[in-house]
Amino acid sequence: MSAKAELEARTTPRFFPDRHLSILLACLFVVMTGYGVTLPVLPFHIDRLAIAEGVRANDASTHVGAITGVFALMQFFFAPIWGRCSDKFGRRPLLFVGLAGFALSNMFFGLGTNLYMLYASRILGGVLSAAILPVSTAYVADSTTDAERGFGMAWMGSATGLGVIVGPALGGWLSGMDLPVRIGLGILVFDSFSMPFFAAAFLALLALALGMSWLEDRRKSSRSKLSRSLLNTLLLQRAFQMLLYFSFLGQFAMALFEGTFALHGKQVMNLGPSEMGSVFMVCGAVMAGAQGGVVGWLIDDDRSVKLLAYGYILMGASLVFLMLAESMMWVLVLTGSLALGMALILPTLAALISKIAGPNTGTVLGVHNAVNSLGLAMGPLTGGLLFSLSIHLPYLLTAGFLLASALLMLKMKRLSIDQRSAPA
């Protein structure tokens, strides 16, 4: 290939993923469908077992937040480890570890009969499935040029968003079947509440089979031996620290919403699992449509700060108005607005961070996903604690941080990393 042709290939973006990247996106869609299956029923399942064990109703919301959050907390600790391992051993085997762990933990969760078992299964799932997102993001970065990076991250966001459309619909339908089935297996029990979690496990195994059959390793051959030095250098840079903070904040806000809105909707409007399925379907549809449609075209270095600021404004305003919503129609409209804000944030941050990773893509994105996981862990936990004090307090405080951060970003012109100071 001539120098001119090579330069053109690097700077001209592909609008559609190639065959192998499409297989990865299909795997992500399937596993995120499995994740979405559990969203409508997860808070109700935890709440049911907590109350059955004699936990007070107000304290049960704390367990809902804690069990939801401990999954992401384990991902916070283990995502950097899996990311570095993927730089060393390749993306493919680490992705399979994550998919198998996700399947196993969901089966165990669906059979659980007490809070201890639910905590144990979520911890196991968090440790093993922590490999999925950092490794997948690194795979996308390996498979795209700098010019395509924004499109690649938007494709990934669209695949996960589509999964969150299909998953809640399937979960709401499965939880509404109310099958007259109860099979005792010693300390384990299979009943109608187990169905969504077994569906999630099946879908994870389906993604595992698809990946093992068709996915090849796309890791770039050049690897740096100075990953720790690279990270130390990057972590000292103010712009990189701000990117990590904004990543944490967005994930914290979204996780707080996902972890507490079932309780909020139940108390304010008596919403059940099927209605919550509709809420998460709208959330996923907007995120998938926006990222797969216009967001990839908007991402570049000059517009990134404004895109992030607008995203936080949309999320903050949506949480404020959700406190006032009293009809299902307004809940769906405001959920869509919240999801649109997140759709602006996710691929923009991922593209910015992946561009500075160089040959250490898995390592740097492992840190990024660890920060995301910390937000996912702290959101439901904080939301559950604040909800026990006041049903509106979680949204009010989070909206304040989102809007203040948006104002901070609007005062900035550009977020850039000095790559010259980072070791190659």
Total structural domains within the chain: 1
Residue 1 has pLDDT above 50, yes or no: no
Q: Is the pLDDT of residue 14 over 90?
A: no
Q: Kindly state the tokens that stand for 290.
A: 């926006």
CATH number of the domain where residue 186 is located: 1.20.1250.20
**How many angstroms separate the CA atoms of 190 and 40, rounded?**
18
Kindly compute the dihedral angle of the four CA atoms of residues 388, 389, 392, 395, in this order, to the nearest 10 degrees: -80
- Give 152 or 308, the one with higher predicted confidence: 308
Per the domain annotation, does 8 fall within a domain?
no
pLDDT digits (tens, 9 = 90+) for 198-217: 888 888 898 899 888 888 87
For residue 25, count CB atoms less than 10 angstroms from its CB and return exposed for 0-12, middle for 13-18, buried for 19 or more: buried
Is 83 domain-assigned?
yes
Q: 296 near 151, Cβ under 8 Å?
A: yes
Q: Which of 29-38, 298-307, 310-319 has the highest mean pLDDT?
A: 310-319
pLDDT tens digits along 344-388: 888 888 777 777 665 566 667 777 878 887 887 788 888 878 888
Write out the residue range of the structural domain in which residue 63 sits: 17-221+229-415
Q: Which of 99, 64, 63 is nearest to 212 (CA)?
A: 99
**Least confident residue range of 72-81, 146-155, 316-325:** 146-155
Residue 41 falls inside a structural domain:
yes
Q: What is the pLDDT of residue 338?
A: 94
In a domain, 44, yes or no: yes
Of residues 127 and 67, the one with the higher pLDDT is 127
Would residue 6 count as lying in a domain?
no
Decide if 139 is inside a domain: yes
List Cα–Cα distances, 107 to 118, 203, 208, 371, 373, in angstroms: 11, 11, 15, 27, 22
Provide the pairing of β-strand 188-191 with 182-185: antiparallel
Confidence band, pLDDT 50/70/90 cuts, at residue 316 = very high
Which pLDDT score, from 0 to 100, does residue 416 have?
53
- Report the pLDDT averaged over residues 171-190: 70
**What pLDDT score does 177 carry?**
67
- In the chain, pLDDT over 90 holds for what percent of residues? 12
Q: What pLDDT is attached to residue 259?
A: 76
- Those residues whose C-beta lies under 8 Å from the C-beta of residue 420, and which sit 6 or more positions away, are none
Q: What is the pTM of this model?
A: 0.67
In a domain? residue 319:
yes
Per the prediction, the chain carries an average pLDDT of 78
Cβ-based neighbour number of residue 296 at 10 Å? 23
Q: Does some domain include residue 7?
A: no
